[in-house]
């Protein structure tokens, strides 16, 4: 099918930075950390909650690895509730919530044999094993589906829950009962309590049959089997799920009342005996060479498996050794996902078109002769930016040996279970005669304003922010997006239609719709195609419901550059109320003084984000539009955490040096959970400095100010008090 295009050009500066061998200085790193947190958080929501990924697996992994690299070099830039400390995404509304008895984790990734060798070497170092000592692993295909946890008590299925954010998932019990591969009653003598983890997926033949039926019924076909499986399981009507051909592979477990076995391989055999389907390609390997050989075998047979996979998972076989190795914050130390290389196809690039995004970024899109890549028909692909088309990276170094991409070229297109494909190489021997190098536009195709590429930027941006219709539409789409106002019945399609008809030009217009007369009025809406009295009334009710909005959602909805969902929540927690936030931004206008210092001292707010927020507030047009919007709204203060008898409630804490009992992220999260504010810098307003080994200038400043300085042990004793 034709892939919906979500412009990823804004990722290219981050991808270029991720490919660069040298790390940036601290100021540039702070900006990259802010942007990476925003992009990765949005990607988590799109993949885990919306079943509609808009960033490729390879790019997601590359960006996440770059974020880790930056935070290793600049640990003080680690943000509270960083994506590195999260698994999946929060469960969406419409389903009851289930708290997992044991967290559902993600997996660390490897991309080449060297990564697997390093994984094996790490395991041996951690366990004190010599290279020649025996050590076994299991190797199994990594299914590209939807993770599911099944809880059995007394051998009977009690509930089924999606991964959610790893802690809390969606209750999909009724839907799971319709899946043939999920037993309702276990065979043999299972443990009294047994949580089985596995993957819901759809086979290729079943996917093709489902899409054929969707097309005949006039319904929208699914993008790929993973989306089809996830969407089918997440139906509020279980009869729809029952009509969909879903399958389930079991590969792990959560809470147990007694052990299943002593090894991973024996435990899988036990699950099979209890009535679960397990993957027949799972193999026990006793050497690194055997692991890589099995990876090659699975890669070679990938196209004939009949279902989508995106890698091979290695796990230490001995469960006692798994227990010794333990867990990181989001991944087990004893497992690694070895990703498969992207699948490719060859097709012709017919035209290069430019799309304009919310921030004015000009994003080149390849319009292709439709071609099947990894079981999905592709007709659009990203070309990243001007440099990528010209055959160079952001530093000017050649890529593709310096070969440019032209309209009419025959190109390779690749994807790896992703929604957005990419143009890779150019087949020069098939380049049609007379083709010309592509000239990237110097003006915006939507409004004619100059398109400027600032020094150090990989992306050209339209300068006509106030007159550019493309930017206005994209900002309105962002305003009503799921993590912002999330107005039911007012999605991207409706916003675009209302904008082009002149009904909605800025956010306040949305709330004024029902009270208007003439075009855009309630009466006029009922005459539009697809609308009736009932649907119009539902829309106006949904809009009225969102006149009361959480502070974090409002900040995110404003679309301030560099402020993502995580950053918006951080700002909301730090300032508490809209008046306090707005007054602080006003006071920081000159980018100096106490208000500016406090903004920059918030742990997770770097100078790039701080400047973006202050600049936004001090554009007259923005403030006027904000005033018109706020006249309709009641902004709820940020919720304070439960802080009964907390010894640090209301105090400002700074962590410095190396923490040995917990990660920096865990320490910050615990402090914030007890009502403390975590700052990235020491000042006279700091109450406690927690100093570990290696603490330097921050400890020195704390001593000079006479502040309370605690060791990690003293800090933990205070909390456990």
Catalytic positions, please?
Answer: 142
Which residues pair with residue 422 across a beta bridge?
382, 414
**DSSP label of 374:** T
- Could you give the CA distance from residue 140 to residue 338 in angstroms, rounded to a whole number? 10
Does residue 259 sit in helix, strand or coil?
Answer: coil
Cα 669 from Cα 675, distance rounded (Å): 10
**What distance in Å separates the CA atoms of residue 366 and residue 360, rounded to the nearest whole number?**
19
Backbone torsions φ then ψ of 316, nearest 5 degrees: -60, 130
Number of C-alpha atoms within 13 angstroms, CB side, residue 719? 21
DSSP run (H or E) holding 616: helix 607-617
Torsion angle (degrees, nearest 10) of CA 29, 30, 32, 35: 170
Contact by Cβ (8 Å): 669, 583: no
374 Rama sector, left if φ>0, alpha if ψ -120 to 50, beta otherwise: left
Measured between its terminal Cα atoms, the distance across the chain in Å is 60
Contact 350, 368 (CB under 8 A): yes
Phi, psi of 356 (to 5 degrees): -110, 125
E runs forming strands in 265-334: 283-285, 309-316
H or E element that contains 580: helix 578-587
In 460-483, which positions are buried (b, 16+ CB within 10 angstroms) versus exposed (e)? bbbbbbeebbbbbbbbbbbbbbeb
Confirm if 91 and 51 have CB atoms less than 8 A apart: no
**Collapsed DSSP state (helix, strand, coil) of residue 560:** coil
Measured distance CA(298)–CA(672) in Å, rounded? 45
255 in Cβ contact with 234 (< 8 Å): no
CB 170, CB 92: distance < 8 Å:
yes
Look-up of token digits 């018109």? 628
Q: How many residues does the chain have?
A: 721
CB atoms within 10 A of CB 303: 11
Two structure tokens written together for 444: 């915006």
Q: What is d(CA 497, CA 343) in angstroms, rounded to the nearest whole number?
A: 37
The CA distance from 521 to 515, in Å, is: 7
CA 519/CA 511 separation, integer angstroms: 15
3-class secondary structure per residue, 533-551: HHHHHHHHHHHHHCCEEEH
Residue with tokens 């306090």: 580
Query: What radius of gyration, in Å, describes the C-alpha atoms of the chain?
Result: 27
């Amino acid at each position: 099918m034709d892939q919906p295009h979500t412009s990823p050009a804004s990722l290219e500066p981050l991808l270029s930075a991720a490919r660069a061998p040298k790390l940036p200085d601290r100021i540039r790193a702070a900006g990259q950390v802010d942007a990476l947190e925003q992009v990765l958080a949005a990607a988590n929501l799109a993949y885990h909650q919306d079943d509609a990924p808009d960033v490729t697996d390879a790019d997601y992994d590359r960006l996440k690895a770059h974020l880790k690299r930056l935070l290793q070099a600049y640990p003080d830039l680690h943000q509270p509730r960083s994506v590195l400390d999260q698994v999946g995404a929060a469960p969406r509304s419409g389903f009851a919530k289930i708290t997992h008895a044991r967290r559902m984790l993600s997996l660390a990734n490897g991309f080449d044999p060297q990564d697997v060798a390093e994984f094996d070497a790490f395991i041996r170092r951690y366990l004190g094993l010599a290279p020649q000592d025996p050590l076994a692993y299991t190797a199994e295909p990594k299914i590209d589906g939807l993770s599911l946890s099944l809880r059995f008590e007394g051998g009977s299925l009690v509930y089924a829950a999606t991964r959610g954010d790893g802690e809390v998932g969606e209750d999909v019990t009724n839907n799971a009962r319709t899946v043939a591969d999920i037993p309702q009653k276990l065979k043999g003598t299972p443990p009294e309590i047994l949580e089985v983890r596995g993957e819901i997926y759809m086979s290729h033949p079943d996917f093709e049959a489902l899409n054929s039926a969707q097309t005949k019924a006039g319904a929208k076909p699914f993008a790929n089997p993973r989306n089809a499986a996830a969407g089918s399981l997440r139906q509020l009507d279980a009869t729809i799920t029952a009509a969909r051909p879903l399958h389930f592979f079991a590969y792990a477990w959560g809470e147990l009342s007694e052990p299943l076995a002593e090894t991973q391989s024996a435990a899988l055999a036990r699950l099979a005996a209890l009535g679960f389907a397990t993957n027949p390609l799972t193999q026990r390997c006793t050497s690194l060479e055997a692991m890589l050989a099995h990876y090659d075998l699975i890669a070679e047979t990938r196209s004939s498996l009949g279902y989508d996979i995106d890698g091979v998972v290695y796990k230490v076989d001995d469960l006692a050794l798994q227990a010794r190795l333990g867990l990181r914050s989001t991944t087990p130390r004893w497992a690694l996902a070895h990703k498969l290389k992207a699948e490719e196809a060859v097709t012709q690039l017919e035209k290069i078109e430019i799309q304009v995004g919310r921030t004015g970024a000009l994003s080149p899109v390849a319009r292709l002769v439709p071609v099947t890549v990894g079981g999905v028909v592709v007709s659009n692909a990203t070309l990243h930016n001007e440099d990528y088309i010209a055959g160079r990276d952001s530093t000017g170094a050649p890529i593709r040996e310096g070969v440019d991409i032209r309209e009419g070229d025959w190109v390779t297109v690749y994807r790896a279970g992703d929604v957005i494909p990419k143009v890779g190489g150019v087949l020069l021997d098939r380049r049609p005669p007379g083709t010309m190098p592509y000239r990237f536009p110097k003006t915006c195709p939507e409004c004619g304003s100059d398109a400027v590429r600032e020094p150090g930027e990989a992306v050209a941006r339209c300068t006509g922010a106030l007159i550019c219709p493309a930017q206005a539409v994209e900002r309105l789409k962002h305003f009503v997006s799921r993590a912002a106002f999330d107005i039911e019945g007012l999605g991207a399609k409706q916003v675009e239609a209302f904008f082009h008809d002149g009904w909605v030009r800025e956010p306040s217009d949305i709330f004024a719709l029902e009270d208007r007369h003439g075009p855009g009025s309630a009466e006029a809406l009922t005459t539009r195609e697809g609308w009736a009295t009932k649907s119009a009334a539902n829309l106006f009710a949904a809009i009225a419901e969102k006149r009361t909005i959480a502070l974090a959602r409002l900040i995110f909805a404003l679309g301030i550059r560099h402020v993502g969902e995580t950053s918006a929540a951080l700002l909301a927690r730090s300032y508490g109320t809209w008046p306090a936030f707005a007054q602080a931004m006003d006071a920081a206008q000159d980018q100096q003084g106490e208000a500016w210092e406090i903004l920059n001292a918030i742990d997770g707010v770097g100078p790039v984000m701080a400047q973006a927020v202050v600049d936004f507030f001090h554009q007259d047009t923005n403030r006027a539009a904000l005033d018109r919007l706020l006249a309709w709204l009641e902004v709820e203060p940020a919720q304070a955490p439960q802080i009964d008898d907390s010894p640090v409630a209301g105090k400002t804490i700074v962590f410095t040096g190396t923490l040995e009992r917990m990660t920096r992220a865990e320490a910050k999260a615990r402090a914030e959970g007890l009502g403390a504010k975590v700052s990235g810098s020491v000042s006279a307003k700091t109450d406690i400095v927690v100093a570990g080994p290696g603490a330097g200038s921050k400890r020195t400043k704390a001593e000079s100010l006479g502040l309370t300085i605690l060791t990690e042990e003293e800090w933990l004793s205070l909390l456990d008090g």
